Structure 1
Amino acid sequence: MTDSPLTTSPVHDDPEYAANLRRATLASSLGSALEYFDFALYGLSTALIFNVLFFPQGDPGMATVLAFATFGVGFLARPFGGLFFGVLGDRLGRKWVLVVTILLMGGASTAIGLLPTYEAIGFWAPVILVVLRLLQGFGAGAEQAGATVLMAEYAPVKRRGFFSALPFIGIQAGTLLAALVFSVIALLPEDQLLSWGWRVPFLASFALILLALFIRMRLRETPTFVELEKHDQIADRPIRDIFTHGLPGVIVGIGLRMAENGGSYMFQTLGLAFFVSVLGPSADKSLLTWGVTIGSLIGVFSVPFAGHLSDRFGRRTIYRAGAVFMLVYTFPAWWLLSLGNHAIAIAVIAIGIGFAVATMLGPQCAMLPEMFGNRHRYLGVAMAREISAVLAGGLAGVLGSYIISVSGGDWVLLATYMATLALITTASTFLVPETLRRDLTRTDDAIKVSRNEGGDGVYATTVSIKAVGL
């Protein structure tokens, strides 16, 4: 099989290609920023605001559990959104799906800022909150997968890890912005914070929607999808393709995401709730959010750097290093959080987000698209990302807050939970062949067939899963 021109290198000095690459980076980054701004903001609000405003206060501990359940509901909707929009992305193209998802996701987030509280409308307040959270999750279910696929298919082959990771600066920027905004509004007197202050950042997300929409409308379709259209290879039934050919890739992709996604949400939201349970009313909530802020700021640099390292040393090597780091870090981290020291807690959360999570996220940006064939890549990435988001991120808040409630804040149980996620991801890195510089115009999946033509990282020899480490 001869390599397509897309396997070697795009025309780097072509002005049209350079302009499209810039647009793709901006379009992906803004979508990622909006998604994670909303999700991080929702997560921070869950532990400190929604549990008070949208649920009866007879049992504060149960109100917190219920609030985290609404956080988890958004994750339940994500696989359905990924399935629905993933099929459209593989049949109609990447661009228009990303236009629709940004409107759906951002519109639901803005509407949350207009929602009446439990005191105003009673039972209907949490019901409407759940509906909006479902819509938010349904749109987000294809947003990040689309951004991942878009950049991987646009990026120069030899620097695909670095370029694919650039939009994921949007993840860190969105999380950073949410933490900064929340840190500021948390300084308000409690009555103002609970009456109107919390609404401001949700309403302000509307500006991000307009900017992202403007850029995405000017974006051209990716070169690899154009290649599919040119050769009349677009899948009529992407779902059938996934279940007949792509299922191993989806399963391994889920495993790869367990520590990255679950660890991220545990540090961002559960770490905050746990620390508050340790100190009680004396916990400085506005101060503690600086752990997320600093960790996200570190991630702005560490995510693309990890992607760059994966271009040099391989996706699996860097990914595995991040998973092992989280595994080693887990028990000391939760023990340190249990000490109830604000400065130590800030450092623990910052390191967890900025280094442990970011080291896995960097290579993941290119690795997941490289694992799937061109005919069902969008759907494959969406399924791997969003099913894992339910199993890892969605359960983290609900199960973790339940553990805190019934165990009286036992840090060992929380650490064991995170260590389990890290072990699953570490094991999963042995189940996937190296995907570095894989030809994205190929229609077969890397999990079954890989190619190896020597030291340049381009593949040519068929291998089985046994041959890569089992």
Structure 2
Amino acid sequence: MSVPAAPPRAQGQPRKAALAAWIGSALEYYDFFIYGSAAALVFPKVFFDESDPADATLLSLATFGVAYAARPVGAFFLGHIGDRLGRRKIMVFTLMLMGLSTFLIGCLPTRSQVGTLAPVLLVLCRVLQGISAAGEQASAGSMTLEHAPAHRRAYFTSFTLSGTQAGQLLATLVFLPIAALPERQLLSWGWRIPFWLSVLVTIAGYVIRRTLHETPEFTRHTRQASAAEGPARLPLAMLLRDHWADTLRVIACSLVASVSTIFTVWALSYATSDAVGMDRSAMLWVGALANLVALGTIPLWAWSADRIGRRPVFLIGAAGSALLMSGYLWAISTGSYPLTFLLGILAFGVVYSAANAVWPAFYGEMFPTRVRLSGMAIGTQIGFAVAGFAVTFAAHFSGPDGDNWGAVALFTAALCVPPVIAALTARETREVPTERLGERRATADEVAAGVRKATV
């Protein structure tokens, strides 16, 4: 039986999908990383102030990881809905859930006001953030990939991660004047402001995403008449039956996100601790400048991936991060601001951005339309869950005084090994037409013919 052709792409939809992915990811990760900054600098003294200082920091960083534990659960649910009902519905839902949960964090009472109820409410809001993030990047990546021209998929999908970096940059810039407040004002009301400001971005993202069309590939998929070829009733069952190997590859590749969490949270906590004593605002500027550089390098790495392939670019990012993160942590240990800025920008803004730029295309192209969102969401969120708790493990490995940066550097490098191995075993999909992604039996002649047709 013939398969219905995909509807023609509406004019301007690839760019609009990229913009919707960018602004939604910016909000999601603005919200996510203001929490990270607060967990490193504020929450130990606001929600865990009755504990020993070292234990308070460990407990606060553990709440950062709680959202990553919730993300696989959200991925199973949101992946199923996205492959059944469409990418746009999930993109709107995740945007609103993240905006609401972040605003509520800014309204929470402190431990001195309500006792142990305060950290319980904090963890609950953090879980809601995790569920939201579980579907955000997978739905945005699927949307942009399926709207994009076949020969520019890596470039268009990279806007999802450009939005992520923009969100981290915005979170850092908002937190800079807040962190400069006198400690009494910071701990009483100042830390709440960044969480309340998320409402503005939520409104802007909602307006854009509500007007976005569903993708041509998903529309074609839902129009298939045959019961055997129609929308998967249980995408998870099909994913685990037919695409389990690629799901495992995505899980392994996603461990590279540990570089981001350790850079953003643990390194900030270590640098500003008594063991090193670097200035809080200066270290926030390291993250701000690294993310600013990443806004320029991510589209360049994605442009390269559309020409030389997804695997080589991803491997540069994963293997290079294992080396340069060690250099960055060493630079912090010396207390040298020039070295810390240089290696921080190089490690996170340039090299790690290679993996960041290409993974939405690299992972998404492993799966066919019917299970793409499920495959990306479940695979990435299980890997990201490990990345989230990498901060907690790093705090443990750093020793009782929190100054064993060498152990943390080795731990970070070890987490980059599975992504390298998984990427080496993956198929290169740069030349595969969008409608043939996830298929196993396409001949070289069929692939070449499809690419020529798609790029005319």
2: CA distance, partners of 1:164 / 1:358: 14
Counterpart position of 1:322: 317
Map 1:343-362; keep pairs closer than 5 Å.
343-362=338-357
346-355 or 424-433, which deviates more: 346-355
For 2:432, which of 429, 434, 438 is the aligned residue? 438
Determine if the alignment matches structure 1 residue 397 to structure 2 residue 391.
yes
Give the C-alpha shift of residue 278 in structure 1.
5.6
Counterpart position of 1:464: none
Determine if the alignment matches structure 1 residue 249 to structure 2 residue 242.
no
For 1:287, which of 282, 285, 302 is the aligned residue? 282
Give the C-alpha shift of residue 46 in structure 1.
0.5
Counterpart position of 2:405: 411
1: CA distance, partners of 2:253 / 2:445: 26
1: CA distance, partners of 2:130 / 2:371: 22
2: CA distance, partners of 1:428 / 1:253: 8
Counterpart position of 2:263: 267
Give the C-alpha shift of residue 82 in structure 1.
1.0
Which residue identity is paired with 2:301?
A: A
Counterpart position of 1:103: 96
Counterpart position of 1:466: none
1: CA distance, partners of 2:250 / 2:418: 11
Residue 430 of structure 1 aligns to a residue whose secondary structure is helix
Q: Deviations over 1:357-385 (max 9, x none)?
A: 21101111211110001111110000111
2: CA distance, partners of 1:98 / 1:211: 13
2: CA distance, partners of 1:451 / 1:99: 38
Determine if the alignment matches structure 1 residue 376 to structure 2 residue 371.
yes
Give the C-alpha shift of residue 170 in structure 1.
0.7
Determine if the alignment matches structure 1 residue 367 to structure 2 residue 362.
yes
2: CA distance, partners of 1:175 / 1:350: 14
Label 1:3 to 1:397 Cα distance change in 2 as closer, same or farther (>3 A): same
1: CA distance, partners of 2:408 / 2:425: 27
Which residue identity is paired with 2:410?
A: T
2: CA distance, partners of 1:408 / 1:69: 15
2: CA distance, partners of 1:411 / 1:155: 42
Determine if the alignment matches structure 1 residue 385 to structure 2 residue 353.
no
Give the C-alpha shift of residue 174 in structure 1.
0.4
Give the C-alpha shift of residue 401 in structure 1.
1.3
Contact (CA 8 Å) 1:268, 1:349: kept in 2 or not? no
Determine if the alignment matches structure 1 residue 131 to structure 2 residue 130.
no
1: CA distance, partners of 2:443 / 2:356: 25
Residue 441 of structure 1 aligns to a residue whose secondary structure is helix
Residue 372 of structure 1 aligns to a residue whose secondary structure is coil
Which residue identity is paired with 2:93?
A: V
Label 1:5 to 1:307 Cα distance change in 2 as closer, same or farther (>3 A): farther
Counterpart position of 2:29: 36
For 1:166, which of 159, 163, 171 is the aligned residue? 159
Determine if the alignment matches structure 1 residue 85 to structure 2 residue 78.
yes
Give the C-alpha shift of residue 332 in structure 1.
2.4
Contact (CA 8 Å) 1:249, 1:445: kept in 2 or not? no
Determine if the alignment matches structure 1 residue 203 to structure 2 residue 200.
no
Counterpart position of 2:329: 334
2: CA distance, partners of 1:451 / 1:418: 40
2: CA distance, partners of 1:371 / 1:72: 28
Contact (CA 8 Å) 1:61, 1:405: kept in 2 or not? no
Residue 435 of structure 1 aligns to a residue whose secondary structure is coil
Give the C-alpha shift of residue 57 in structure 1.
3.5
Counterpart position of 2:454: none
For 1:299, which of 286, 291, 294 is the aligned residue? 294
Instruction: Note the residue ranges of structure 1 that are not aligned, 5 or more in a row.
Output: 460-470
Label 1:456 to 1:235 Cα distance change in 2 as closer, same or farther (>3 A): same
Which residue identity is paired with 1:236?
A: R
Q: TM-score, normalised by structure 1?
A: 0.90
Q: Deviations over 1:191-228 (max 9, x none)?
A: 11111111111001011111111111111111110010
2: CA distance, partners of 1:228 / 1:183: 47
Label 1:324 to 1:88 Cα distance change in 2 as closer, same or farther (>3 A): same
Give the C-alpha shift of residue 441 in structure 1.
2.6
Contact (CA 8 Å) 1:4, 1:441: kept in 2 or not? no
Residue 146 of structure 1 aligns to a residue whose secondary structure is helix
Contact (CA 8 Å) 1:323, 1:425: kept in 2 or not? yes
Which residue identity is paired with 1:334?
A: L
Contact (CA 8 Å) 2:58, 2:392: kept in 1 or not? yes
For 2:415, which of 421, 433, 442 is the aligned residue? 421
Give the C-alpha shift of residue 6 in structure 1.
6.5
Counterpart position of 1:463: none
Give the C-alpha shift of residue 276 in structure 1.
2.2
Could you say what the CA RMSD is over the residues aligned between the two structures, in angstroms?
2.3
Q: Deviations over 1:240-271 (max 9, x none)?
A: 11111121111101111212x11011111111
Contact (CA 8 Å) 2:328, 2:343: kept in 1 or not? yes
Contact (CA 8 Å) 1:293, 1:350: kept in 2 or not? no
Residue 396 of structure 1 aligns to a residue whose secondary structure is helix
206-215 or 342-351, which deviates more: 342-351
- Equivalences, count: 448
Label 1:454 to 1:177 Cα distance change in 2 as closer, same or farther (>3 A): same
Label 1:457 to 1:159 Cα distance change in 2 as closer, same or farther (>3 A): farther
2: CA distance, partners of 1:245 / 1:32: 30
Determine if the alignment matches structure 1 residue 76 to structure 2 residue 69.
yes
Residue 429 of structure 1 aligns to a residue whose secondary structure is helix
Contact (CA 8 Å) 1:271, 1:349: kept in 2 or not? no
Counterpart position of 2:444: 452
228-237 or 216-225, which deviates more: 228-237
Residue 228 of structure 1 aligns to a residue whose secondary structure is helix
128-137 or 250-259, which deviates more: 250-259
1: CA distance, partners of 2:238 / 2:114: 47
Give the C-alpha shift of residue 111 in structure 1.
0.6
Residue 403 of structure 2 aligns to a residue whose secondary structure is coil
Counterpart position of 1:468: none
Give the C-alpha shift of residue 51 in structure 1.
1.0
Q: TM-score, normalised by structure 2?
A: 0.93
Which residue identity is paired with 2:252?
A: G
Identical pairs, percent = 34
Label 1:255 to 1:2 Cα distance change in 2 as closer, same or farther (>3 A): farther
Counterpart position of 1:219: 212
45-54 or 418-427, which deviates more: 418-427
Residue 365 of structure 2 aligns to a residue whose secondary structure is helix
Residue 371 of structure 1 aligns to a residue whose secondary structure is coil
